[in-house]
Amino acid sequence: MQAVIVWWDLSQSEQTIASLRNFLRDEAVERFSRVPGLRLKVWISDEHTNRWGAVLLWESAEAATAPVPSRAAELIGYPPTHRHTFDVEATTEGAYDIARLARLGRAFTG
pLDDT tens digits, residue range 3-48? 999 999 999 999 999 999 999 999 998 999 999 999 999 999 999 9
Tell me the pLDDT tens digit for each residue of 65-106. 988 867 899 999 999 999 999 999 999 888 888 777 777 787
Mean pLDDT of the chain: 91
- The answer on pLDDT for 58 being more than 70 is yes
The 3-class secondary structure across the chain, one letter per residue, is CEEEEEEEEHHHCCCCHHHHHHHHHHHHHHHHCCCCCEEEEEEEEECCCCEEEEEEEECCHHHHHCCCCCCHHHHHCCCCCEEEEEECCCCCCCCCCCCCCCCCCHHHHC
